[in-house]
Structure 1
Amino acid sequence: MSEALAVIGIVSSIIQLVDFSSKVVKRLDDLAASVGEVPRAFRHIKTELPLITESLRRIKNQARTGGLDKKTIDAVDLVIKDCQGEIMRLESILDRMVPSAEASKWERRRKALLSLTEDKHVEEIAKSLGRYVQVLTLHLVARPPDVDLQPPPTYGASDPTRNTSFTLIPFDRNAKFVEREYIFKQIDKSFETKEGSQPKAALFGLGGIGKSQIALEYCFRKKEKDPGCSIFWVHAATLARFEETYKRLATECGLANQGDTQVDITQLVQDWLESRHAGRWLMVVDNIDDADVFFREKTGNNKTLSQYIPRSPNGLLLFTTRSRDIAVDLLLQDKPIAVPVFTRPEGASLLRSRLPSEHSDEQVLELLVELEFIPLAITQAAAFMSKRRRTIPQYLDLYKKSDMARLRMLSYEFSDHGRQSAELLSLMAYFDRHAIPSTLLYNEEEDLLDFEDAVAVLVAFSLIDSDESGTSFDMHNLVQLATKRWLISEKGGKEDEWGFKALSSLSLKFPEPQHHPSAEYWSLCASFLPHAQLILAHPFKSPEEKTELARATLLLSMARYLHWRGAWIECGAKTEEAFQIRKRILGEKNQDTLRSLGQLAWANKSLGAKNVELGEECLQLRREVLGENHPETIDCLSDLADSFMLLGEYRKSEAMQRQALEASQRVLGPEHPDTLNCLGGLASVLADIEEYGEAETVARKTIRLKTKVLGENTSIFSDLHNLAYILVLQEKFDEAEEAYRHVLALKEKKYGQSNVETLATLSNLVILLGEKEKFYEIGELTERFEGAMDMVQEDSNPTRRQVTNILKSYSFFGGSGNHSSSSSVDSEE
């Protein structure tokens, strides 16, 4: 009986969803008819919805014929509910975007400009629906859908980075490298491929066997033989480290600016090496030791790391991995290269290069056998003996006592340097082992000289590597694993204690959420992110409340940074987790909990009615706990007004924004930055209700006061942009053009040409110039920004697509074609 009811329920849900989807598709058609070509995200949804409805019809038939069991029905029901939620979210966006039949020309223009503002939210919905299509298709055909391979975009030949040679290697050359010529010959042979094939080679072998050292030496030799060849080194142990390496590569090579937030940097680097870098290049992809991370885990753009590896006959790919299976998967039909342990002469050569010469061949051989001819173990043993002035027999006496003695020697507690080196090593073990910033390790309350002494000891014993400036450290995987084992077995399970210290350091030093990120903010967040992701994944055995609260603080700071990078879904999830932690431990009326709830409402602005509910809950609690006139209560009221504006309830939004403005003027003063933010919000909603005269007055007042109080910085960019937009709506084209040019120059100087904010203003300026038939000036802008738009990938950035279409419409074809899909990112935010 229960299964029969379940079948009836699932069939009913499917029928409702199919009917609802059909209506939404009809509304998308109406949108296209009213504004011309709709943004690509909407076109994706028009593709996804029929696929979902067709899959659901087939599943409905399966259910009716008894082809589904209860477990499958429950799973499909969850997918249907999630689909319905996303489609309802889409419908609320369409409510704000589709003009009525009797709408004026400028009302239609305003709706058209709004389309790009909403595009990022529609992209999220499209991605979600795409995943549901895959899930449903998997159920129907019992295999995952094929990956949709998009052709790479084409680029112009004027790219300044096209013929430049780069050398981006994060390590110095090993002056004591032991010759292994036979491996270099195998690498060269692997690179000899048929014309048109991708030259690649893979080194595999035990951890510490010397794979990375071989790859490093190969890079330097390649550069000596071929100075024009670019060399790139990519860390692939984790998804975060891979993305961070690509970001640094893009910045160093001039492909992107530090503050680019909505550019898919990984895709940008891949496309550059495949089609824009004219010279030869060699890329080392180091430490591909986890098949799930490299081949299956998805980035924020729904691609695996393996899909971001460039392919070009001009390029050489050299992989390193511990796994032979991974090496085979990397090369497919080619044969990987095994890196064996040292031969007796190789091991002796390395050991003698680091020790005094008085040791006999027999003693050297005995030690090499004990260390199993592993290069890293030989290097560490030599460093230990040199530092502690021990002979090989003395070292072996200590080493052979027990397994624990071996671990103690690896993680030796050097008590003669104030802060013990073993403690520093213990802390480092809980960060990502690559590029650990010294700021996460050094406590300002301790003696800097003690910290530097501890670092020097670890470097001397080859337990860590330091960059030239001494501000960043790398830790070998074997050392990290041994240190953790030592903490568990030798120190009575103190792994949680050191895990908490790492978490605490990150939660205190990860930059707090900011409305206008600075260059320092971007730099710090980028360097801290891989370490934050790792410590958040640490399985604390018995997490205390202080651990959970530190975790919540880190989650909130991380979430804001992820939002600026364009990872809005991940931002929302992390903010939600932080809010739930604080609510459970501190209670819903605690001020920190209320701040978390406020950030949650801010992060989920695209959720429409659900977000309004969060904002109303936050406002009610802040009024109760903090009072009506507390600055955070007023700020919450202003944010809630923005949410109602995005929901299309403009009159309600106006009333609330006026209330927030009055309260802020009274409590904080007429020139306080929070008051001026309320003033800017009022200008936006006045434009939405077509009170253009007052909207212009309020916008100009906002700009004047912000400039007086804060200077001409990023805080006024959106206000300047919105003023230009309001002037366009009043057909004050000359004044609007002046305002757009002014803010474009400011954004270009601050953000760079390729930033999404800059391109948003560019698109609106081009629209305006088209209205004024200034086609020659459009051509000049096209030429000026041609390289910048190449940096922003068509498939990853809606603003770039809109700008490209607009420029083609006006400049390339010399006429004012359909340009109504323009937008302003700033105008509604």
Structure 2
Amino acid sequence: MAASASFGDANAGFQAGYINGSVNNPTFHHHAAPEPSETPSIPTIIIPFPRDRDFVRRDTICDQVIRASADPGSWVALIAIEHAYQLRDKSPATWVFWVHASNKARYEQSFRELAEQVKLPGRQNAQENIFQLVSSWLRSDKSGKWLIILDNLDDVSFLLEVQTGRQDAQGSTSSGPEDNRPLLSYLPRCQRGSVLVTTRRQDIALRLVEPHSIVAVGSMNQDDAVTLIEKKLGALEDDEDVETAGALAQALEYIPLAIVQATSYIAHQGLRYSMQKYLKKLKRSDGQKTSLLDVEGGHLRRDWEAKNSIILTWQISFDYIRKSRPSAADLLSFMSWCDRQGIPEDLLQEMIRTRNASQDDDKHPGGDLYNHDDSERHGNDEPANNDTDDDSQSDSSVSDGLEEDILMLRDYSFIQLVGDGTSFEMHALVQLSMRKWLEAKGQQERWKQTFIKCLSSQIPTGDYENWKKCQIYLPHAKAAAGQRPKDKESLLDWATIMYRAGWYLMEMGLGQEAQRMAEDSMKVRTHLLEWEDEKRSWAMSLVSDVYSFLGRWEEAEKLKVEVLEIRKTTLGPDHPDTLTSMANLAATFWEQGRYKEAEKLEVEVIEFCKVTLGPDHPDTLRSMNNLAYTWHSLGHQMKAIVLMRQCLESRTLKLGRSHPLTHNSAQLLADWATDLG
């Protein structure tokens, strides 16, 4: 019984409380349906950023990059967007992949997107090791030449830690030996491909590549900096303009990010604004940066890129935005709490709606924005749609306002459009500056709560149908994990995020990560909610399922028994959530070899389901699947095959052939038939 963990209490009854399969044979844990044959993709460049038309070629650095990456199998550390496009121009048959490496969640998301772009068979199977899948393809002749860019690798720990599979009761893992290895080992060193790393930390670069393969990208020289200013502001008309541009570049310490922010501000002010005026403003603002730097406690000073000039240019632009368009400043404040990459537009729209609702209710900023609903039970893929004119006008107003805010933030080089235009990212230093400004102004908790409120309403449950959206929101849930709020209502929203993210991590087979989030959710809910509150028992049930997944059967059983007693008392013996708990407890019995106890509960569950839900309800079919496997384990092979065949026929009609549960039943039935000869 490959305990696939029951999350039905949070959404729809049983929810695969267990897929009957061997602990030591994960074959029965969420099989993906057979994938249709697909036309292989042709090599292309997969980078979420457009080519920078204002790129200034710094000859020494560019030449070093070309030399360092010329040899097959090489790894190079540098900043690389333009290099990727140049490589694509010179070698159209070469794959170019951009992998976000700021944290584990973004890293895995990039690998899944890579597999999707290449159309790798098996990529849609959640139990497939996506890193092994990509690694095997990169090593094979099918891949051809390739370049992988690991961007923003400033913390290498998640790449070096050994990945472990699911544990059984004895502590052994159900995964194959290929799973028990660090993520870094999946990046091959082979003749057909190269890896290029961008990092601000030399110590990390030295851990990954040879010293001669490190290309240091520091400040610009005077000529390159003036060229960048000219590209951003237009041709410099005379020697005086060139001299002023040089003075501006010097004041900004020749740092590209600071120059881009400053020229964005100048360009946005119009024809009457000059570099001279900006220089004067820069000098006046110099004394205002101290508080921001002091708040950070030295972290900004340690980052070679975080010079005073970046703080100054950010502060000048932000002060202007705050006065001229407060809603754009609000948006930047909100985005500073997200993972800095892959910020979805849906989440930003939710922030606008939340802010507007707060204003409509005549509540002060940062007031009570929390109105809990029951979306956790019914899922929350889409908000309710009443098709009213008011709703249509409201949605239009949200979109229009958001577009104008985004345009201003992009104009000032605070955020960047990514991929298909439905997500955004911001520079780490812009995000850091924004959060420290909020802290200095005493607004940190307000925006933390707003972020958590909006994220809790957008992150979906871990149902199979939501996996794609879960993948997008997981990095932001992980960002929220370290931002535990103080307010009670906000804390409950935070627990919802931990619950749903933990559920999804469970479905992805990441038990240790799921455990941390599930336990955080349970601690908050058991402390703040009444004994009979269903969300309290949902959190307990999730933790028990994580324990089952990790092979901690005694701890799992203790929690499952407690949840079952609560539900019998508060909901009654035939309520779907009570039946879920019975099914999950039966799964725990099965995993410990207590087949008769499991059978007794499963027979009771299936009879309740048939009466309460109907013979073809998905939850009834789950209980049929589980009882069939228990009978097979007891040696009742023919009874098991007959019941599983009924389950498969009904699942095919109700769920479709492509659903993982349908494929689970089909695979089991085929295996049993083979065993019988």
Structure 1 and Structure 2 fold alike (TM over 0.5): yes
> Is 1:439 matched with 2:382?
no
Q: Partner of 1:202 in structure 2? A: 77
Give the equivalent residue in structure 2 for 1:386.
Answer: 267
Match of 1:313 among 176, 179, 191: 191
RMSD of Structure 2 on Structure 1 (CA)? 3.3
| Partner of residue 396 from structure 1, selected from 279, 285, 298 | 279
**Equivalent residue number for residue 367 of structure 1:** 248
Q: CA deviation at 1:721?
A: 4.2
The 3-state SS of whatever aligns with 2:194 is strand
Distance 1:696 1:497, change over 3 A: same
Which of 146, 162, 180 does residue 281 from structure 1 map onto?
146
Distance 2:426 2:218 in 1: 22
1:377 Cα offset (Å)? 0.9
> Normalised by the size of structure 2, how large is the TM-score?
0.76
Is it true that 1:271 corresponds to 2:122 in the alignment? no
Partner of 2:67: 189
The correspondence of residues 484-633 of structure 1 with structure 2, limited to 5 A, is 484-489=435-440, 491-492=441-442, 494-514=443-463, 517-518=464-465, 521-538=466-483, 540=484, 543-605=486-548, 606-633=551-578
SS at match of 1:248: helix
State the aligned residue count.
565
> What CA distance in whole angstroms lies between the structure 2 residues aligned with 1:663 and 1:417?
63
Q: Tell me if the contact between 1:167 and 1:231 (Cα under 8 Å) persists in the aligned partners.
A: yes
Question: Would you say the 8 A contact 2:74–2:195 is kept in 1?
Answer: yes
Tell me the equivalent position of 1:472. Answer: 423
Q: Secondary structure at the match of 1:316?
A: strand
Distance 1:505 1:486, change over 3 A: same
Change (3 A) 1:663 1:309: closer
* Match 1:422 to one of 329, 346, 370: 329
Q: Give the drift of 1:583.
A: 0.8
Per-residue deviation at 1:118? 2.9
**Aligned ranges 1:50-199 → 2 under 5 Å:** 116-120=22-26, 164-191=42-69, 198-199=73-74
Conserved 8 A contact 1:413-1:420:
no
Deviation of the 1:299 alpha carbon: 7.9
**Aligned-partner Cα distance in 2 for 1:173–1:702:** 53
Determine the C-alpha separation between the residues in 2 that align with 1:717 and 1:174.
47
Closer/same/farther in 2, CA of residues 413 and 451 from structure 1, 3 Å limit: farther
Distance in 2 (alpha carbons) for counterparts of 1:229 and 1:267: 21
CA distance in 2, matches of 1:684, 1:601: 22
Distance in 2, matches of 1:672 and 1:335, equals: 60
Partner of 2:359: none
- Give the conservation status (yes or no) of the 8 Å contact 2:586–2:598: yes
Deviation string 1:560-609 (CA, Å, 9 cap, x unpaired) is: 22222221333234323322221111144321111122223333334334
Work out the CA distance in 1 between the residues paired with 2:402 and 2:256.
28
**8 A Cα contact 1:419 1:454, kept in partner:** no
Alpha carbons of structure 1 residues 410 and 309: separation in structure 2 relative to 1, 3 Å: farther
Identify if the C-alpha distance between structure 1 residues 257 and 391 changes in structure 2 by more than 3 Å, giving closer, same or farther. Answer: farther
* Partner of residue 391, structure 2: none
Q: Which has the higher helix share?
A: 1
Counterpart secondary structure, 2:462:
coil
Residue 655 (structure 1) aligns with: 600
Amino acid corresponding to residue 276 of structure 2 in structure 1: P
Q: Which amino acid aligns with 1:507?
A: S
Whole-Å Cα distance in 2 between the matches of residues 678 and 296 of structure 1?
38
Select which of 202, 205, 212 maps to 1:324. 202
- Deviations along 1:760-809, one digit per CA (max 9) or x if unpaired, are xxxx6xx67xx4xxxxxxxxxxxxxxxxxxxxxxxxxxxxxxxxxxxxxx
Cα deviation per residue 1:284-326 (whole Å; 9 max; x = unaligned)?
Answer: 2222223445555868745444433321133233222222333
Where does residue 405 of structure 2 map in the other structure? Answer: 454
Map Cα deviations across residues 125-179 of structure 1 (whole Å, 9 max, x no partner). xxxxxxxxxxxxxxxxxxxxxxxxxxxxxxxxx9986x95332222111111112
CA distance in 2, matches of 1:291, 1:708: 47
DSSP-derived class of the 1:433 partner: coil
Q: Distance in 2 between matches of 1:468 and 1:293?
A: 25
After superposition, the Cα gap between the structure-2 partners of 1:288 and 1:663, relative to the gap in structure 1 and judged at 3 Å, is closer
**Structure 1 stretch displaced more, 619-628 or 303-312:** 303-312
Distance 1:720 1:331, change over 3 A: closer
C-alpha spacing 1:580/1:276, structure 2 compared with 1 (3 Å): farther
Give the letter for the 1:479 counterpart. Answer: V
1:191-242 CA deviation, whole Å, 9 max, x = no partner?
A: 355xxx7433323xxxxxxx3xxx1111222222222222222222222222
Tell me the amino acid that sits aligned with residue 275 of structure 2. I
CA contact (8 A) 1:427 1:501 kept: yes
1:673-712 to structure 2, matched below 5 A, reads 673-692=618-637, 694-706=639-651
SS at match of 2:496: helix
SS in structure 1 at match of 2:212: coil
Letter in 2 for 1:437: P
Contact 1:413 1:422 in 2 (8 A): no
Aligned amino acid, residue 247 of structure 2: E
Aligned to 1:824: none
Q: Give the share of equivalent positions with the same residue, in percent.
A: 29
Equivalent residue for 1:216, pick from 70, 81, 87: 81
Q: Distance in 2 between matches of 1:614 and 1:623?
A: 14
Structure 1 gaps, min length 5: 1-88, 90-113, 124-157, 204-210, 729-735, 737-763, 772-829
Instruction: Give the residue type in structure 1 aligned to 2:76.
Output: A
Shift of 1:424: 0.9
Deviation at 1:451, TM superposition (A): 0.6
**Structure 1 counterpart of 2:453, one-letter code:** S
- Quick one: which amino acid aligns to residue 512 of structure 2? I
The CA deviation at 1:512 is: 0.8
1:671 shift after superposition: 4.3
Structure 1 residue 707 displacement after superposition? 5.3
Indicate the SS of the match to 1:233: strand
Q: What is the distance in 1 between the residues matched to 2:653 and 2:204? A: 60
SS in 2 for 1:361: helix
Answering whether residue 585 of structure 2 is matched by residue 640 of structure 1, we say yes
